Structure 1
């Protein structure tokens, strides 16, 4: 505001006057905008890290992490955890379990012993010794655990 007051006192046109004060103010303003963008990016990144703590360490933060957080960040974590808990209770599914995706639903297996004709869901398969099959993992797991088949890894 000092720049505008100074220009008014000197009867200079605000729209057309370009002097060293104008350029200094423009550079200062652009620096402030850049600093604001940097701070906003930092805060966004920090919020993402705090959110990831909920999935990595659970609803209670370890003491060494809590020491490094500001009060407002602790509140943010608490509110984020409450939102996840509320969502999980509404959906009746625990999203915090099995963070690793399941293995491929189909696997290639080699039959180690003659099993014979077996009905698997909607179709039947003849499982003869040393034959290769592409089966659903859930169908093959019982035979693998009995030692009748093995997963065939190419």
Structure 2
């Protein structure tokens, strides 16, 4: 039936959103959707090129419309699947995490995207571009140490961050440690 394969891709995209790691690329489903799109396009062109084709014939027009809409739906489903995967790869690149289930083309994309991020960050090594765009509510925050880090040098002195200890520190001094999961804001 038209669109069944594309619907499977949409279900896979929805499932992907709930997973921590990106699942393996559904190459067979993608090929099936592309094949269906080509078949629908060929059928539309064949119908329009027939010598007895009458554009005023409502039955033929309805048939072409259904095929065209099915083709557009397949394309949208395929693009949604690709967009979901690309967005997850982009997030992984910014967070500098590894995605193990990428195919060859996705690995190339990920490498190129990581290179782009490095180029963007290059001249701004002292600025954390991965941080939140919203300004903090407080300059100083209470934090609890979840994992021992050791000594951390700040403007206000040296802190020895041992597990289960608490500190009142400037947010900008510990923002990276918060993002990495060593500290937790109280």
TM-score by length of 2: 0.44
Aligned mates of 2:64, 2:107 — CA distance in 1: 38
Cα drift, residue 82 of structure 1: 0.7
User: RMSD across aligned C-alpha pairs, in angstroms?
Assistant: 3.2
Matched, 1:54 2:93: yes
Matched, 1:4 2:48: yes
Q: Which has the higher contact order (CA 8 A, sep 6+)?
A: 2
Q: Which residue of 1 aligns with 2:138?
A: 104
Q: Which structure: larger Rg? A: 1
2:57 to 17, 31, 52: 17
Matched, 1:77 2:117: no
| Closer, same or farther: CA 74–48 of 1 in aligned 2, 3 Å | same
Unaligned runs of 5+ in 1: 108-136, 139-154
Cα drift, residue 97 of structure 1: 7.0
Structure 1 residues 47-101: Cα deviation after superposition (integer angstroms, max 9, x where no partner):
110011123344xx2xxx32x1111111111111111111111223352676697
Unaligned runs of 5+ in 2: 1-44, 142-168, 171-186
Q: How many residues align?
A: 99
Cα drift, residue 37 of structure 1: 0.8
Aligned mates of 1:22, 1:99 — CA distance in 2: 52
Matched, 1:92 2:125: yes
| Closer, same or farther: CA 90–57 of 1 in aligned 2, 3 Å | closer
Counterparts of 1:114-133 in structure 2 under 5 Å? none
